[in-house]
Every structure is written in structure tokens, then in C-alpha cells.
Amino acid sequence: MQKMPYPEWLHIAFDGRFIEHAKAAADLSGNGDLCKRQEKVEARLKQEVRLIYRLYLHEGWGWQKIANYLTDKKIPSPRRLTGAKNAGSVWHETAVKLILLNRHYTGDLVQGRSSVDRSNKLFHQEKGYKLRQQVDESKWFVVENAHPPIISHEEFTAVQDRMAVKARTGFSGRGKKSLFAHLAYCAHCGKGMNYKNDREGYVCATYQKRGRKGCPSHFIRHDELKESVLADLRQLSVNALDRDSLVEKALKKAIEKSNQAVSELNAIQKKSQQLQQEQLELVRALTRKMINDDTFQMSNTALKDEQQALKARAAILEAVLNQGEASERLMQKFREEVRRFAELQMDDEEALREVLQRLIERIEIELDGRIIIHYNFGNPLSAGA
């Protein structure tokens, strides 16, 4: 049987040379219109790459400023240009950074920059995809001048040098961690609220990146947020005068409810055993022809219906027991945390941060400065002791 000849683009791939998308598409489809469309896409991509390098290298713009500019000008992202289904209309700073780090635009073909760790089966099972690891640059496969360049090697090197300088001189951290880090969130967009030293307050992360086009200006001063949160916590602690008696009352009620459920479950178990015995006697009566089939079927159906009703009731009671145990743990934890807060010295910010992290899940900041506190667990005293 005569073998089909390989297309030209496949021979190029075997040689390790770069294949332009338009040429590959033409060979694969034989469709001239598709080829022209691919050429237009690549021409647009080249314009975007040159623009990004110019803005970063010659205008001195940062990744986020470039991303905002591209989004505002409605310049499509590379994924959007190529027709990816999940491509968005917003440019992100990571996309700009990746373009600035991509050596392919110099005309070099670089392969083997990452590898798949096939030995980590657990990661694959948990994530649904294989773990990809970065490979040291000395082990990359590089073919220089494999395709026409978009930017020069000198421009690429200058960009890498500038990024290296920024990495050395930029913030390695913000020093003292803010009191509400990972707790304060914008109620409008859901993003975190970043602490600004110069304003002594928290601003929406989306607004900080995109301005009013991304999210309205949510801002709250640190002292104002701290006082509002502490006031809410004090309200819990103010009830400290009879806090223990309220919790004990709630615990006593929960225990009584659980005891009643246990007693009823025991009664259901005994009743179920009686029904099983009656069912056995019914079968024996049928076997000895003491009753006919109609009587057996009617009696057996009644017994099964009663057993099903008992099982349903037992399931409800078991749920009540589980809820009671959870409520008891919740109230014990609530009492302990509020006790810690009542004894806390407010000038000890590290200790205060630890308590806030345990007590609070998130704090949402509204546009008008109002706050909504979501606790890690509910207040059992207000939930109906």
C-alpha cells in the first residue's frame, strides 16, 4: 500500500523549525479564505506586541497601566483574536507580563520551558490535570532566528533588564500586616480591600487597578473600620453580664431536646423489632395456610408502610441529634471566643488580629461606608436559645 506523503508543514515540524499559523492552516485546510483570516490575525497580533513593548520600554508604563489602556481602547486580547470560546474582553496584567517575557517574538524558537510531572498521581486526581513544572533555562531547546522577528533581541533584553531592576527595587512586602488583611472585601465587586499607607485606609482592589470603570470608589479609613468592628464585637461582649447564664440555658435546652430524641429513637427501635416479628409470624401463617394470599398481601403491605414511616421518623430524629451536637459545639466555641475578646487588651494588635481571624469570615464594605460582618459561626444566643 502506497504511503501518503507528509505535508510540508509536518516536515518543518520534524526539523524543529517554527511553523507560522497561517501557513499551517493553509496546508491543513486548503482553504485560501482561512489562510487570509489567519494572516490578518497574525498581523494584528504583531501590532499589539509591538505596542506593548513600546509602552513598557519607551513610555515607562507598568503592566497594569498597559492592560487598562488596551481594555479601554477595546483592543482584543490574543485569545479573543484567535477565537477562543472563553476569551474575555478585559486585559489583565499577567497577560501583558507573559507577552513581555516571551522570547518567541525575537524570532527564536524556544521549547522545553516546562515539563509535566507524570509521577504525581495524587495532584492529577485532585486537580484533574497534570502538574507542570518550570525547567531551568540552561536546559531549554533554542533555535535562533527560526522565524521572522516581531521585536529585536536588543528590545527584548532591555525589557528583561528593566523587569529585573523593578523586581529588585520593588516592594518585597508591605512590612507590618494590616489588621483587616484577608478580612475586608468590597461589597460591590467582591474583591479584597487593600490597605493604603498614604490614605490610612482601605480601597477596593478593582478600583485601584481599573478606576471607576472597574468598580466605584469604595474607601474606608482604618480607624473607622476598626471602631465599627470592635463596636459590633463589644455588643456581643456587652451581654457578658449574663452571657454564661444565657449559654447555659441554651445548652440545657439543647440537651433536653437531644434526650427526647434519643428516647424516641429507642422506642422506634423496639417498635421496628416488633414489626419484624409480626412480619415473620405473618409469613409462617401463610406457610401453614392459616391465612390466604389476599389477607397476607394486605397485612404485609400495612406492616411495610408502618416500617417506612418509622424509618423516616428515625432519620429526622438522627438529624436533630446531629444538629444538637453541632449546636452544642457552636455554643461552647462562641462562649470561649467571646470570653477571649472580653479579656483582650485592645492595644495588643497582634492578639486582636488573631481573634478577628477566628471570629470573622469576611467584612463587606458598602459604597456609603457601611459594613456587613459575616462571622465564622452564628451567634447562638440570637439564634434562639
Amino acid at 285: A
Burial classification of residue 141, based on how many CB atoms lie within 10 Å of its CB (0-12 exposed, 13-18 middle, 19 or more buried): exposed
CA-CA-CA-CA dihedral for 22, 25, 29, 32, to nearest 10 = -10
Any idea what DSSP says for residue 88?
Answer: -
The whole-number pLDDT of residue 42 equals: 80
Q: State the residue for C-alpha cell 417506612.
A: 308
pLDDT in tens, 272-308: 888 888 888 888 888 888 888 777 788 778 878 888 8
Strands 360-365 and 184-186: parallel
Contact 121, 136 (CB under 8 A): no
Owner of C-alpha cell 461606608: 369
Sheet of 184-186, strand order? 184-186, 360-365, 371-375
Q: What is the pTM of this model?
A: 0.48
* Other CB atoms within 10 A of residue 121 CB: 11
Identify whether the C-beta of residue 317 lies closer than 8 Å to the C-beta of residue 264: yes
Give the rounded percent of residues in the chain with a pLDDT score beyond 90: 5
- The candidate with the shortest Cα–Cα distance to 90, out of 72, 109, 106, is 72
Q: In the 8-state DSSP scheme, what is residue 189?
A: T
Residue 352 in grid coordinates: 486582636
| Lowest-confidence pick of 10-24, 158-172, 283-297, 303-317 | 10-24
Cell 434562639 sits on residue: 384
Whole-number Å distance between alpha carbons of 238 and 227:
15
Give the pLDDT confidence score for residue 216 in this predicted structure.
Answer: 81
